[in-house]
Structure 1
Amino acid sequence: MEIGIEIVKKCGGVPLAVRALGSLLYSSTSEQDWKNLRDNEIWKLDQKENDILNALRISYNHLSPHLKQCFVYCSIFPKDIEYTSIHLVQFWMAHGLLQSHNENQDLENIGMQYIKELMLRSFFQDIVQIYENVYLFKIHDLMHDLATSLMRNECLIVKSTNQICTKSHRHLSFYFVDAPIIDVPNILPNLGHLKSITFYPITGESTGISQSFLELIVSRCKFLWMLTLFSSNIEVVPKKIGNLKHLRYLDLGSNPKIKELPSSIYKLQNLQFLSLFGCEELKTLTRDVKYLISLRCLLLTTIQKHLPTNGIGCLNSLRRLGIYNCNNLEYLFEDIGHLRVLQTLMIIGCPRLISLPRGVRSLSSLQNLILGSCERLNLDLSIGSDKQENHDELSSTWPHLRFLHIRELP
């Protein structure tokens, strides 16, 4: 108790610091561990008045090397951004931060372990659970300051046109709130070294990214791993996007003016994450999607009535498939059962969807099934055998099912 009181005094009355160090010590009954933390050399570093980063750095130093890397990369995002576990795990994966030491352990599961551990250590806050392993959360401003100090000069968050991207920067984030059309190539004298470019949600009909600026990025950033254009008010995806051979993460979500995708997009054989969520005018996702052989997560909105066979069903690496707000969709692709490693299937807001294809019963790895707001969906999952008892059908169809969420069905 006495040692704890001394540690609390060093935290300067900042609850975040108390929580972070408390979560570090709560499972330790060793008096020496508590003394070591109290007497840590970091406390002796020069610090400004009310600067508590040293306390947070002690908590950071006790993380495993992999967790340290994942946390530090969160500085790429601006402050006050709300994270989703799906996107953050895919973001870490795109940057090669997740490594599996067991062939049977998916990188997605490793990423979720990291998120939960960082939650327990108070590195994340304002946590809301939406579904199984789907969370919303934020990073405290002080934690973000810590991550930024550790990332040094690799990340640049652009909030004005007078900032300059240097060769030391690897990650570029544009954060213009209610800005006019973004067209600032003058700040980008050298783009070839960048690994990620992110645009954060832009509000208003008259705001967005200029087509010329987008074309410049796609033509010059040949080594990009990640490109996020979420809610950027773009209408045309550049044809040269297929030249980004190293791209692993592409977010085109919430761009309702996009009507079609260039055929070159299907050349991105390293792509692991593709979001077309909220692309409400997208006419079609063609069979050529099957050439995205590394795709692990696909989020889709489209106006087409049928998803073609020999397309999505050929994505042998797909772990998560989300189909959202497809107002015209009546049938899914018949070969859905070929997705033998699919773990999560989400179908939400498809009012004309009549039934699920029989192939869903072959999704042997399915763990999470979420169906909602499909008012015509006939959810008949029967096996077709009179001899089989009804209560055995679900467990025999999906032996690994852990989470089932059904709402607003007939």
Structure 2
Amino acid sequence: MGTVPTYKLEGLSLDVCLLVFVKYAFKEGQEKQHPILMEIGIEIVKKSGGVPLAVRALGSLLYSSSSEQDWKNLRDNEIWKLDQNENNILNALRISYNHLPSHLKQCFLYCSIFPKDFEFDSIHLVQFWMAYGRLQSHNENQDLENIGMQYIKELMSRSFFQDIVRFHKNFYTFKIHDLMHDLATSLMRNECLIVKSTNQICTKSHRHLSFHFLDAPIMDVPNILRNLGYLRSITFIQVIGESASISQSFLELIVSRCKFLRMLDLKFSNIQVVPKKIGTLKHLRYLYLGSNPKIKELPSSIYKLQNLQFLSLLGCEELKALTRDVKYLISLRCPILTTIEKHLPINGIGCLNSLRRLRISNCNNLEYLFEDIDHLRVLQTLLIFECPRLISLPRGVRNLSSLEDLGFKSCRRLNLDLSIVIG
């Protein structure tokens, strides 16, 4: 709005595009050793429309190849002939996507379930992929978490992720460019329904339901409630500055009818009671109940979720501690726990033989952990954040032979007497 004329952004000049392309397509200085590839590269860059994202994606695609035929195949790809309103960037991105290995294609597409400009973090994204069985292990000794990080790093190297920030070792945050997101959304449109209004219809072909309209309470939406039985994931995405509220009847209906759910993400949904039938979701692998401070206790049926791998209770500061029955969550690999209690029970969490990562956070009353922590033989990461009354750690921490990272934050009363390198 206003009287100032619009300024139309033009594409980068050919010379600047070539500088970007060379940076991503060659190791430093090697472009001079491949004059024929550079000639083909110039032709490829001309097809990119001067868009930096397209140039970067194409360059990243060719980085690992010095085969003249591979470069020619990219230059002569049939996708360039498609009509995209004279904008070659979508063609370039589609070519880059088509050259991904099949396992990376699936992982990338699943990112479209989240909205544009969503900030991913590596820990949650790996658990998200794991819930759908998208991580392929060719070695029984290789953890799925490590495989997931390999996938993330490869997608980073191919320019599918951007705004990358590394905080520590294998913990990154990043985003997907809007146009990359458009590409993934277009390819997932028959499987994933992004709910932004109350008149949208969930069909039998949809497997993923993601609510992005959170400016009003989410009640029983008739069109959406059709064909829920086919769904594999339901997520509620918070919009900054707005709050969601899911009716209890809607939540009960989801739990009772969506028997094949693998993922249920209820963060910031303002729920107070977790349905007693949650234990009937036998296929559930990812359950996010965090950021719902009104939850005071969990139903006993939750301990029937023997396929559950990820559980977040982060920020549920009025929640009673998990009971000893937590030991029946035999597949749990990554719990994030908050509790109102002073201590965690013995013969509970310590019996979880699959645990790789444990975070205990925002526990204002917690003074002691569980004494049998030394039973967690494959635990790799232990993080304790915002537990101001925690006095000491169990002696068994010394015996965690697989532990790689031990981190603390805002635990001011904690008395550390350990010869352990803190990660």
Q: Which moved further from structure 2: 69-78 or 292-301?
A: 69-78
Where do 5+ consecutive residues of structure 1 fail to align? 382-392, 395-400, 406-410
Q: Does 1:361 align with 2:393?
A: no
> CA shift at 1:204, angstroms?
6.9
Q: CA deviation at 1:131?
A: 2.2
- Which of 336, 351, 354 is the matching residue for 1:314? 351
Distance 1:173 1:35, change over 3 A: same
Which residue type is aligned with residue 367 of structure 1?
A: E
Per the alignment, in what secondary structure is the counterpart of residue 265 of structure 1?
A: helix
- Aligned pairs for 1:91-130 within 5 A: 91-130=128-167
Q: Does 1:84 align with 2:105?
A: no
Q: Aligned pairs, how many? A: 386
Question: How far does residue 179 in structure 1 lie from its aligned partner after superposition?
Answer: 2.3
Helix, strand or coil: the match of 2:166? strand
Partner letter of residue 197 of structure 1? I
| Residue correspondence of structure 1 range 64-75 to structure 2 within 5 A | 64-75=101-112
Alpha-carbon distance in structure 1 between the residues aligned to 2:214 and 2:263: 22
Distance change (3 Å), C-alpha of 1:205 and 1:18: closer
CA deviation map 1:67-122 (0-9, x unaligned): 11111111222222111111111111110111211011001100000001001111
Q: Distance in 2 between matches of 1:66 and 1:12?
A: 29
Aligned to 1:293: 330
SS in 2 for 1:187: coil
1:260–1:205 CA distance, 2 compared to 1 (3 A):
farther
Q: Which residue of 1 aligns with 2:389?
A: 352
Contact 2:217-2:247 at 8 Å conserved across structures: no
CA-to-partner distance for each residue in 1:355-390, whole Å, 9 max, x for gaps?
A: 110011111111111111110111101xxxxxxxxx
Report if the CA contact (8 A) 1:223-1:245 is conserved: yes
Structure 2 gaps, min length 5? 1-37
Matched to 1:354, the amino acid is I
The amino acid across from 1:148 in the alignment is T
The aligned counterpart of 1:3 is 40
How far the C-alpha of 1:36 sits from its partner, in A, is 1.8
Q: Which residue of 2 aligns with 1:25?
A: 62
User: Which of the residues 252, 255, 266 maps onto 1:229?
Assistant: 266
Report the equivalent of 2:185: 148
Structural mapping, 1:233-272, within 5 Å: 233-272=270-309
Structure 1 counterpart of 2:417, from 373, 377, 380: 380
Q: 1:57 to 1:203 in 2, by over 3 A?
A: closer
What is the rounded CA distance, in whole Å, between the counterparts of 2:222 and 2:368 in structure 1? 44
- Indicate conservation of the 8 Å contact 1:269/1:294, yes or no: yes
The equivalent residue for 1:197 is 234
Shift of residue 147 of structure 1?
A: 1.2
| Mapping 1:33-52, distance limit 5 Å | 33-50=70-87, 52=89
Paired amino acid for 1:170: R
Normalised by the size of structure 2, how large is the TM-score? 0.88
* Mapping 1:389-400, distance limit 5 Å: 393-394=419-420
For residue 339 of structure 2, the aligned residue among 288, 293, 302 is 302
Aligned equivalents of 1:318, 1:358: Cα separation in 2: 19
The TM-score normalised by the length of structure 1 is: 0.91
SS of residue in 2 equivalent to 1:192: helix
Give the share of equivalent positions with the same residue, in percent. 84
Contact in 2 for aligned 1:277/1:299 (Cα 8 Å): yes
Residue aligning to 1:281: 318
